[in-house]
Each structure stands twice: as structure tokens, then as C-alpha cells.
């Protein structure tokens, strides 16, 4: 019985026979409340009736209906949601219908923690294979907002709790084909590559992922996402990053092209700080970007100086990096047992 089809059709609770014995409980705001909200009559009445049911802990069908009405007026009321869960359990309610209920209200309230948490709870309780339905559900949300934070979190939870990994990497690739700048899709890609039980794990996937990522970088060197992803592929294995010829190569290509090279320089700086020995080609490419006669001096210093000029928003950061780097590089040489060799 949905009495909220149109607000003009709403029958006040005081006039509904099924609630005749309920004595509404007013909000205890006190005599001089602050941040007082001018509730509509509909809102005030609904919450007064909810409070009555809540206080007596009545877990009935009419209680369930009341929570639905309260939620539609304020989907952020976590107390109502929590009570609804208790009622659903007590009534041994049909959880599939509950998914339908959430489907019905998510469009207007998608940026709301409570809805997503409730959805997760329902899915957990269903126990049957919901993976497909939930992946479809999040896909629909993401088709309207490809970076929707809650939708992505829910999707990740579904994959880990209910499975369905088979098409996930392909889904990421589709999203990236549509918008290579979508960082959420890159993040999901990392999630799949590192956690999917169907793939071999980061070690097995790394080489092909590096190739993909380098291609994305070449397409748009100014796109920060693939650069961070590339570093991510070598998380906890910096020496492998330093030694990967694909990494040095993409930096060289972009520095030589002299266009949108901030991230390339930043990557080069990181490599140098971890003991990377720059080739003559790379050195020359860097010197080619600097108009001062910086040749022959410390490459790290030159890189930082260029960055201070071409990436002025982060000038302070590059200065700090410039000051930190020599000690870092010296430490690297020490770690490699190369003390005594000059930089």
C-alpha cells in the first residue's frame, strides 16, 4: 500500500485507521532549539508517528511502511534505516522486494551513505547469487556518473563478497576508452589486476599492464592517472621501476617532444632519487628543456629547476624535493654498496 504516490493524494497518518491507536511523539527539541528546521506538516507528522513506533520498538508491517515514508522524506535518517533493518528481520521480509525498494529511491538520493550501506546489508542477507544484479545496478549508476564514489565502493564489495570478476577488466577498459582521464576507472583497474582470483596477480599482469599504461601516457602525457597507475604497478618494488626500460623510454619520448612533460619530469625525478642512472639521451633531453646553461651539473637539480618554472603551482614542493634529493641519492648509493663513487 503506497500512499505516497502523489503528495496531493497523501492521507495524513492521523486519518489512517491502521494507525488509529498510535499516539504520535513530538520531537524533544526543547524550548529554544538552535538550528531549528521549519518542517512541513507532512514531515513533522511522519516523524512524530515514527518516534512513537520506535520508542515502543514495534516491529510490524505498519512500522515497515512508516519507515518507508520517513525515508522518502529524509533518506539520511540513519536511525530510521537501522530500525527498518530490525523490522525486516523480525518480519522475515522478502529481501528481493527490499532491493526493489532501494532501486526506487536511489535515483534521487544516490549520494547518500545510508542507502548504500542498506543495499550492502540486504545483499549480504540474501545469500543467493546477487552478483549479476548488483553489478548491473552499479553499472547503471556509473553510466550516469562514471566517478560515483559510493557506486564504485559497492561494486568492489560485490566483487569481493559475491564474485563476478570475469568481465571486470573489460569493463574498466570500456570506461577508459570512453574517458582515459577517468581516475576511478584506473583505480578499479588496479583493484582488478591486484585482487581478481581469475588473473595471476600483479606479478603476472605487470608487463602487459605497463604496456597498456605507457600507451595511455603517450596519448595524453598530461593525464596524471596513468602516471600514478604506472608507479602503482611497481608499488613496494621501486628498483624494478628504475630498471624497467619501458619507463625510462616513455619519459625520454615525452621529454624529447617537449610538450606536456611535467609528469615525465616528475617520474624522472623519482627514478633519479632511487638510483636511476640517466642515459646521455635523457640528459640531453632534459638540458634541451632548460634554457639556462645547466649542463654538467647535478641532473636532479636541473630537473627540479625546470619543474619550478613549468609547474609553478608546485614550486615550493619542487624546491623541497631539490633539497631532499641529494641525501636520498647518497643513501641509495650507500644501500647499493657504492659509497665512494661520485654521483
Partner 1 sequence: MESSRKARGTKTQEEQWMVENDVGQIYSSVSSIPPNAQSVFLEIRRDNHIQYLMHGLNNLGPSFSTLDANRPWICYWILHSIALLGDSLDEELEHSTIEFLSRCQDPDGGYGGGPGQMPHLATTYAAVNSLITLGGPKSLSSINRGKLRAFLLRMKDASGGFRMHDGGEVDVRACYTAISVASVLNILDDELTQNVGDYILSCQTYEGGIAGEPGSEAHGGYTFCGLAAMILINEVHRLDLPCLIDWVVFRQGVEGGFQGRTNKLVDGCYSFWQGGVAVIVQKLHSVICEQLGLSKVLDSECDSESYHDYETSDISDVEECTVETSCPLGGTCHRRKEDIGVDFISNKRAIAPIFSSMHLQQYLLLCSQEGAGFRDKPGKPRDHYHTCYCLSGLSVCQYCSSADADSPPLARDILGPYSNLLEQLHPLYNLVLDRYYEAHDFFSKF
166 or 235, CB closer to partner 1?
235
Q: How far apart are CA 269 and CA 303, in angstroms?
A: 7
Question: Is 179 one of the binding residues for partner 1 (CB under 8 A)?
Answer: yes
Cβ-proximal residues to 107 (8 Å cutoff; 6+ apart), any chain: none
**Binders of partner 1 among 3-32, rule CB under 8 A?**
27-30, 32
CA 153 to each of CA 232, 242, 292: distance values in angstroms, whole numbers, following the listed order: 19, 32, 48
Catalytic residue, candidates 6, 89, 97, 111: 111
CA 198 to each of CA 195, 263, 297: distance values in angstroms, whole numbers, following the listed order: 9, 33, 49
Which stretch, 8-16, 98-106, 132-140, 180-188, contacts partner 1 (CB under 8 A)? 180-188
SS3 73: helix
Residues across the chain: 343
Which stretch, 13-21, 134-142, 187-195, 247-255, contacts partner 1 (CB under 8 A)? 187-195
Candidates 1, 34, 280, 341; binder of partner 1 (CB under 8 A) is 34
Candidates 110, 131, 182, 239; binder of partner 1 (CB under 8 A) is 182
Candidates 110, 131, 183, 256; binder of partner 1 (CB under 8 A) is 183
Q: How far apart are CA 294 and CA 59, in angstroms?
A: 77
**What own/partner pairs with CB < 8 Å and gap ≥ 24 does 145-151 have?**
145/110, 146/175, 146/178, 146/179, 146/182, 146/184, 146/185, 147/182, 147/183, 147/184, 148/110, 148/111, 148/184, 149/184, 150/110, 150/111, 150/112, 150/113, 150/115, 150/116, 151/110, 151/116
Candidates 10, 62, 72, 117; binder of partner 1 (CB under 8 A) is 117
Minimum Å distance from CB 11 to partner 1?
Answer: 20
Question: Is 240 one of the binding residues for partner 1 (CB under 8 A)?
Answer: no
Cβ(68)–Cβ(101) under 8 Å?
yes
Question: Is 111 one of the binding residues for partner 1 (CB under 8 A)?
Answer: no
137 or 190, CB closer to partner 1?
190
**Binders of partner 1 among 37-76, rule CB under 8 A?**
37-40, 43, 47, 51, 54, 73-76
CA 20 to each of CA 49, 78, 190: distance values in angstroms, whole numbers, following the listed order: 11, 26, 56
Which stretch, 59-67, 132-140, 146-154, 278-286, contacts partner 1 (CB under 8 A)? 146-154
Minimum Å distance from CB 274 to partner 1?
Answer: 10
Q: How far apart are CA 204 and CA 189, in angstroms?
A: 15
Question: Is 36 one of the binding residues for partner 1 (CB under 8 A)?
Answer: yes
SS3 253: helix
Question: Is 326 one of the binding residues for partner 1 (CB under 8 A)?
Answer: yes
146 or 256, CB closer to partner 1?
146
Question: Is 327 one of the binding residues for partner 1 (CB under 8 A)?
Answer: yes
102 or 256, CB closer to partner 1?
102
**Binders of partner 1 among 195-214, rule CB under 8 A?**
195
Residue 72 falls in the annotated catalytic set: no
Residues assigned a catalytic role:
111
Amino acid at each position: 500500500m503506497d500512499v505516497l504516490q502523489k503528495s496531493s493524494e497523501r492521507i495524513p497518518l492521523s486519518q489512517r485507521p491502521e494507525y488509529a491507536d498510535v499516539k504520535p511523539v513530538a520531537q524533544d527539541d526543547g524550548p529554544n532549539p538552535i538550528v531549528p528546521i521549519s518542517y512541513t506538516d507532512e514531515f513533522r507528522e511522519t516523524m512524530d508517528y515514527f518516534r512513537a513506533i520506535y520508542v515502543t520498538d514495534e516491529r510490524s508491517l505498519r512500522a515497515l511502511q512508516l519507515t518507508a515514508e520517513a525515508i522518502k522524506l529524509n533518506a539520511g535518517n540513519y536511525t530510521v534505516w537501522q530500525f527498518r533493518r530490525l523490522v525486516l528481520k523480525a518480519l522475515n521480509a522478502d529481501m528481493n522486494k527490499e532491493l526493489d525498494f532501494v532501486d526506487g529511491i536511489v535515483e534521487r538520493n544516490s549520494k547518500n551513505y545510508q542507502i548504500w550501506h542498506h543495499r550492502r546489508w540486504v545483499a549480504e542477507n540474501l545469500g543467493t547469487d546477487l552478483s549479476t544484479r548488483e553489478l548491473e545496478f552499479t553499472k547503471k549508476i556509473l553510466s550516469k556518473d562514471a566517478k560515483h564514489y559510493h557506486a564504485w565502493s559497492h561494486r568492489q564489495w560485490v566483487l569481493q563478497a559475491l564474485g563476478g570478476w570475469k568481465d571486470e577488466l573489460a569493463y574498466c577498459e570500456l570506461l577508459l576508452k570512453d574517458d582515459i582521464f577517468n581516475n576511478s576507472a584506473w583505480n578499479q583497474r588496479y583493484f582488478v589486476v591486484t585482487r581478481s582470483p581469475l588473473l595471476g596477480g600483479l606479478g603476472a599482469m605487470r608487463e602487459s599492464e605497463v604496456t597498456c599504461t605507457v600507451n595511455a601516457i603517450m596519448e595524453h602525457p598530461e593525464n596524471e592517472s596513468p602516471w600514478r597507475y604506472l608507479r602503482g604497478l611497481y608499488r613496494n618494488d621501486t628498483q624494478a621501476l628504475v630498471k624497467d626500460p619501458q619507463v625510462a623510454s616513455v619519459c625520454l619520448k615525452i621529454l624529447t617532444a617537449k610538450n606536456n612533460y611535467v609528469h615525465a619530469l616528475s617520474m624522472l625525478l623519482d627514478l633519479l632519487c632511487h638510483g636511476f642512472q640517466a642515459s646521455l639521451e635523457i640528459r640531453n633531453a632534459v638540458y634541451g628543456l632548460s634554457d639556462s646553461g645547466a649542463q654538467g651539473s647535478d641532473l636532479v637539480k636541473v630537473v627540479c629547476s625546470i619543474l619550478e618554472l613549468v609547474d609553478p603551482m608546485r614550486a615550493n614542493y619542487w624546491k623541497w624535493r631539490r633539497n631532499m634529493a641529494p641525501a636520498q641519492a647518497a643513501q641509495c648509493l650507500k644501500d647499493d654498496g657504492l659509497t665512494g663513487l661520485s654521483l
